[in-house]
Amino acid sequence: MKVMEPINVVVTGAAGQIAYSLLYHISSGSIFGPEQPVNLKLLDIPPMMKVLDGVIMELEDLALPLIREIVPTTDPVVAFNDVAAAFLVGSMPRKEGMERKDLLAANVEIFKVQGEALNKYARKDVKVLVVGNPANTNALICAHYATSIPKENFSAMTRLDQNRAKAALAIRLGVQVDKVKNVIIWGNHSSTQYPDATHATVDFGESTKSVPSVINDNDWLDTTFVETIQKRGAAVIAARKMSSAMSAAKAAADHMRDWWVGTKPGEWVSMGVVSDGSYGIAKNLVFSFPVTIKDKQYKIVQGLPMSEFAQYKLKITARELEDEYKEANNILQN
């Protein structure tokens, strides 16, 4: 049997909470395959390197055969050199009293540096997943500075929202979560996102039915369900006093695995990708669409019928992204 060469995988914010859970998914083979060895490039800021030492001890203690090399670093040049996959988890979190433009300004600098490093040192077929918020606009900034890498190789994570939506519908329907398929997250990974169950299906074994027909409560689907998913991150923070970490790491793993190995026939997933104008969304915004994936290339699902309510929801979240994009552009030009 041919022994596979290891691939280089970078995780930024590697000493943080999300990375703590994510690194196991990467190293265990659940993302890139059970026979694919990995070299881990772990990037963080100097004050976090002592914590990162402890994370590396735990990675060693996992005794996982797919880990070939672990490289902790504060240098983007080292971190992004020859990487095949990048999980950009580290970002400036929003702090009390901070305006959105302040958050964007801090993140523009972070993702400019990382985009430039990807441009110079990463493989040109690298798959870049932005997890750190504001994820959609951070992905756009990163892609802007990585001019030699196709824009299609950058995406923002809305898979956590999709997983939340699937779980909420499964609970309502009284089924296992894997029986619910084709829930969509449209737009921004923010409270303006539109979780859409209109095209979702539920498998009852002997038959597959549309989720709206089984739930039979459009008021719940259009209000309670939408608002619950939009506010779920805030609800986790209120209960846990910290943001989602375990579920965010699982979502990042799900997102990259599907990008790497493809989606199942008849199923689609939600990814923040550079808009091509589909569904009337302005080109070049990083907007969450339903996509299918084959041979590591995604395609936006076309031709889905959209109600007036859905179109209205898409306009709201697109407007927020346009405002973020303008603000980021202003920062870039100053």
The binding site for NAD(+) consists of 44, 107, 131-133
Tokens representing residue 270 in the block: 């939600």
Which positions make up the binding site?
44, 94, 100, 107, 131-133, 164
Burial of 101 (0-12, 13-18, 19+ CB in 10 A): middle
Residues 138, 103 contacting (CB under 8 angstroms) = no
What residues contact 263, with CB distance under 8 A and at least 6 apart? Answer: 269, 291, 292, 293, 294
Beta bridge partners of residue 86, listed in sequence order: 10, 128
If DSSP states are collapsed to H, E and C, what string results for the chain? CCCCCCEEEEEECCCCHHHHHHHHHHHHCCCCCCCCCEEEEEECCHHHHHHHHHHHHHHHHCCCCCEEEEEEECCHHHHHCCEEEEEECCCCCCCCCCCHHHHHHHHHHHHHHHHHHHHHHCCCCCEEEECCCCHHHHHHHHHHHCCCCCHHHEEECCHHHHHHHHHHHHHHHCCCHHHEECCEEEECCCCCCEEECCCCEEECCCCEEEHHHHHCCHHHHHHHHHHHHHCHHHHHHHHHCCCCCHHHHHHHHHHHHHHHHCCCCCCCEEEEEECCCHHHCCCCCEEEEEEEEECCEEEECCCCCCCHHHHHHHHHHHHHHHHHHHHHHHHHHC
Which positions make up the binding site for substrate?
94, 100, 133, 164
- Tell me which residues are annotated as active site: 189
